[in-house]
Amino acid sequence: MKTQLHFNESISWKKGMREKLFIFDTTLRDGEQSPGASMNAAEKIRLATQLEKLGVDIIEAGFPAASEGDFKAVAQVAEKIKTAEVAALARATISDIDRAWEAVSAAAKPRIHTFLATSDIHMKYKLNMNREQVLASAVEAVAYAKRFTDNIEFSAEDGSRSDPDFLCRVFEAVIAAGAKTVNLPDTVGYAIPEEFGDLVRYVLRNTPNIGKAVLSVHCHNDLGLATANTIAAIKAGARQAEVTINGIGERAGNTALEEVVMALNTRPTFVPVTTGIDTRQIYPVSRLVRMITGIVVQPNKAIVGANAFAHEAGIHQDGMLKNPMTYEIMRPETIGLTSNRLIMGKHSGKHALDSKLKNMGYDLSAEELKVIFEKFKALADRKKTVEDEDIEALVNEEILRTSDIFALEYLHVSSGTTVFPTASVKISINGRTVKGFGSGNGPIDAVYNVIAQLTGTKSELLRFSINALTGGTDAQGEVTVRLREDGLVALGKGSDPDIITASANAYINGLNRLEYLKQNPTTTTETL
Ligand code: KIV
Ligand code: ZN
């Protein structure tokens, strides 16, 4: 039977016969539209650098017209990235396109990505435009963008719910005006794989000049079908996939890069395409996104979830021991999960730490390595073995640091079954020490009350979560907080074997990041 599954497909497939699939990563733009996931310029640069290392073809860095902060972040990413294309999003208006070009023009390979809705429902209720007006505006936008660059992408927003013939007319017209990529988004995650594949085939057959452009797809995950729809579209002939790391994005998110790439790698005979992705970078970049955005990855998430390679059932474990291929369709090393975890402790030196970090996908500057090494030594004095998760937390806390206004100097709590919880806290504010004393429902509440009093913060605590980084009672607690003030949302993180200290550090980190955001406002997603 032709469709019979072979576990060694990847070994038998001949490389040379595949067509290139362009991977367009929009973690920094659509991913950033996940509630509370806004990133500052330094975080965008850090992530873009990792995405480049991962081998994505295009990095959509942001939406410059949305805010001054995002404009600057896109411009900085554009300057930094050398091998991947850097795209900036723009509505189909002159001012958005000007702004996008201004932000992205310094890139080695800049791209303008302009979009306009083509579905009847969007045109009537959102745009208040008829089909002819939309067609004319789309063409005008692409023709205007062509003054700046040949690398133009046009997206037909809500494409999957658009009249297919109108969609083809729009694509034909924008390609004639100069678009080199035409993108068909399933904006609201409404499509079903078979139907979406058929739509892609229809577009390829009924857009006369489609040969002059790359047909792209961009799927949302409202029905949990984003990856399936993307694969169906690629099978039908789409040659660019728009994706995000961990599938983050607007509402239920976007197609996850790791799912599409690993599906194509694991089943290479199903769709004859190849990508430039170095799959060993998938896990490190997934962890970085988790850390920067504070959006946790569900344990059973495909490819990058904590349980994705864990075998619990006895029968499975037995099979795995006899031959891993009985229950494992991918090797964990393929996505960068290190199998032989080098245990680090207080006798480990800087070189060992450096090589460990490189293995984990972190390329740090000499200055950063120095800071991390000092923190590592301090932790190793308190914890017998320092595991990968501990090291990762140290690195990522460093990444999340902003120029700090507040710092924790001293903390003492008193609590227990018969004691009213109280806290004494000393913090420095711009180098000046202040101290306070207070109480609360529990020790963490008491500490937070004192910190709030000392800093005078008006912020609201939207989320507080504690997670043990590794096993054992000496594990570090990792605390994540989300704070909101005047519409700005900041994430704070802290980790320490003492969970009260971790909580205090997370709150202070969040307050510092909130101050940073006040001075450097980033994306406002309301504009979309
Ligand atoms: O979902 C969508 O339609 C988009 C477009 C801007 C491409 O994100
Ligand atoms: Zn989208």
Distance 257 CA to ligand 1 centre (A): 16
pLDDT in tens, 405-416: 999 999 999 999
* pLDDT for 8 beyond 90: no
Mean pLDDT of the chain: 90
Over residues 378-406, mean pLDDT: 83
The pLDDT, as a whole number, for residue 498 is 94
**Strands 477-485 and 488-496, how do they pair?**
antiparallel
Tokens of residue 526, six digits: 């309301």
The pLDDT, as a whole number, for residue 468 is 86
Distance 240 CA to ligand 2 centre (A): 14
Ligand nearest to the CA of 60: 1
Ligand nearest to the CA of 253: 2
Cβ count near 366 (within 10 Å):
7
Pick the CATH number of 406-519 from 3.30.160.270, 3.90.600.10, 2.40.110.10, 3.30.56.10: 3.30.160.270
User: What number does the ligand 1 atom closest to the CA of 155 have?
Assistant: 7
Ligand nearest to the CA of 527: 1
pLDDT in tens, 135-176: 999 999 999 999 999 999 999 999 999 999 999 999 999 999
Q: Is 20-293 in CATH node 2.60.40.10?
A: no
The pick from 25, 26, 30 for probing ligand 1's pocket by mutation, whose C-beta has the most ligand atoms within 8 angstroms, reads 30
**Strands 22-25 and 58-62, how do they pair?**
parallel
Domain with CATH 3.20.20.70 in the chain: 20-293
Ligand 1 lining (C-beta closer than 6 Å): 30, 115, 155, 157, 183, 185, 187, 218, 220
* pLDDT for 179 beyond 80: yes
d(CA 290, CA 79) in angstroms, rounded, equals 25
Distance 256 CA to ligand 1 centre (A): 15
SS3 386: strand
d(CA 47, CA 293) in angstroms, rounded, equals 11
- pLDDT band per the 50, 70, 90 thresholds, residue 219: very high
Distance 60 CA to ligand 1 centre (A): 12
Domain with CATH 3.30.160.270 in the chain: 406-519
The pLDDT, as a whole number, for residue 16 is 58
The pLDDT, as a whole number, for residue 522 is 56
Where residue 295 falls (left for φ over 0; alpha for ψ -120 to 50; beta otherwise) is beta
The pLDDT, as a whole number, for residue 517 is 82
Distance 459 CA to ligand 2 centre (A): 30
Over residues 326-340, mean pLDDT: 82
* pLDDT for 12 beyond 50: no
User: Among 506, 46, 15, which Cα is nearest to 245's?
Assistant: 46
Over residues 467-478, mean pLDDT: 85
Contacts 24+ apart (CB under 8 A), 440-446: 442/415, 443/413, 443/414, 443/415, 443/500, 444/499, 444/500, 444/503, 445/421, 446/413, 446/415, 446/421, 446/422
> Which range (12-21, 56-65, 244-253) has the least confidence?
12-21
